[in-house]
Structure 1
């Protein structure tokens, strides 16, 4: 499955999100698109969504971001499923309920990976 990882730039996403995902068994089973792993320029997500080359978006929404909101709006228009994850103790934007009902709270990096693993197993079984 090809999964785009959406996030704010307001936190250390490379060590808090990218590294845990890429060091987990999930990286062997799925292709993660990490938009800022190597470049700071915006990823051409709109073209990828239009070409139907993204199966799922996992959005880390602990920190509000206008750019991320635009990405999620485009994903909604192109009918790409969106799942939001957020760290315990943060309050995600209420506007997210417009694009998804799937919100997962995590308490630690390990818990985040467990939740994503279960989510993807369920997603593959049901979709």
Structure 2
């Protein structure tokens, strides 16, 4: 299952969002897509949207 994790860039998403998900025991069982994990630039999520099985959005 391919899971996309959407979020705002107005917070420390690497520490507060990506790292806790990466440390979860279940994270190794899925293909996780973090839009800014390797590059802080724009990510073409719209172009890949059909390839994701699930989209999780951090909206707080």
> Which SS does the other structure have where 1:58 is aligned?
strand
Partners of 1:17 and 1:26 lie apart in 2 by 15
CA distance in 2 between partners of 1:42 and 1:4 (Å): 15
Residue of structure 1 equivalent to 2:12: 12
| Shift, 1:26, TM fit | 2.0
TM-score under structure 1 length normalisation? 0.45
The answer for unaligned runs of 5 or more in structure 1 is: 63-127
| CA–CA separation in structure 2 for the residues paired with 1:27 and 1:9 | 22
Partner of 1:2: 2
Listed as ranges, the gaps of 5+ residues in structure 2 are none
Runs of 4+ in structure 1 over 4 Å off:
none
Distance in 1 (CA, whole Å) between partners of 2:43 and 2:26 is: 22
The higher-RCO structure (CA 8 Å, 6+ apart) is 2
Q: Secondary structure at the match of 2:20?
A: helix
RMSD: 0.9
Partner of 1:59 in structure 2?
57
Give the distance between the partners of 2:26 and 2:55, measured in 1 at CA: 15
Distance 1:46 1:56 in 2: 14
| In structure 1, C-alpha distance between the alignment counterparts of 2:26 and 2:9, rounded to whole Å | 23
Q: Which residue of 1 aligns with 2:30?
A: 30
**How many residue pairs are counted as aligned between the two chains?**
60
